[in-house]
Amino acid sequence: MQILIIDEQYNEKKDSCRMRRAVRAVVYKHDVILMIYSNKNGDYKFPGGGIEKGENEEEALRREVKEETGYDISVIGEKIICACEYRKYDDDEFVMESNYYVCSINDGQGHQDLDDYEKELGFVPFFVSAEEACRINISILGSGNEPAWTKREVLVLEKLLEANPQMTQIAQIVGKCIKHTCLPETLIN
């Protein structure tokens, strides 16, 4: 697993801030990945979100992906990236730890169950190439209108693009597990 420190302030502030842990799904389907596109901001983010009290990472990941995309996760594979960032909004300081897992989804898509802010942002699930999602997100960085997560998602997308052959292999293994109902111990959550 690779750890990304997004903001330098993370190292200085992590002990004095509120901590938020989140999980995010990296779902490959052929040569594209499942992302959430915001019609309002024009950016892409990985499906997922915060872990609620009483949930473990797997439960939170399944719930968040279902709510944001309408898809059910069939297999949760390897945790591949942990992205850590420091955020400040007015007087609120917190550290965001996002854990990215390679996942597979079932074919049938149900309905989204979005929060009000997600509806306002016009979240829609979208299969897109990692290159295109990264290019779009980079184009809005520095505009002053980008969401706080855009920088994080660009860095994660860049890491996935660098590791493309390895990620394709992991995605194929996870995909085979769906068909053969097997899961190597190295991919068990």
Tens of pLDDT, residue by residue over 17-40, are 778 899 999 999 888 999 999 999
Do the domain assignments include residue 64?
A: yes
133-174 per-position pLDDT tens digit:
999 999 999 888 889 899 999 999 998 888 865 555 555 555
Do the domain assignments include residue 143?
A: yes
70-80 per-position pLDDT tens digit:
999 999 999 99
- For residues 22 and 8, give the distance between their C-alpha atoms in angstroms, rounded to a whole number: 20
- For residues 51 and 53, give the distance between their C-alpha atoms in angstroms, rounded to a whole number: 7
pTM equals 0.82
pLDDT score of 113: 97
Token pair listed for 1: 């697993």
Enumerate residues 6+ apart whose C-beta is below 8 A from 44. Answer: 35, 36, 37, 38, 126, 128, 133, 136, 137, 153
Do the domain assignments include residue 169?
A: yes
pLDDT score of 91: 73
Residue 126 has pLDDT above 90, yes or no: yes
If one counts the domains in the chain, the total is 1
- Is residue 24 within 8 A of residue 118, CB to CB? The reply is no
Do the domain assignments include residue 27?
A: yes
Do the domain assignments include residue 189?
A: no
Mean pLDDT, residues 97-122: 95
134-145 per-position pLDDT tens digit:
999 999 998 888
Do the domain assignments include residue 178?
A: yes
- Is residue 64 within 8 A of residue 47, CB to CB? The reply is yes
CA distances from 127 to 26, 87, 101, 132, 142 (A): 11, 28, 17, 10, 25
Q: Which range of residues forms the domain containing residue 37? A: 2-184
The CATH number for 18's domain is 3.90.79.10
pLDDT score of 189: 30
Per-position DSSP letters for 167-182, written without gaps between them: HHHHHHHHHHHHHHT-
Average pLDDT over the chain reads 83
pLDDT score of 141: 92
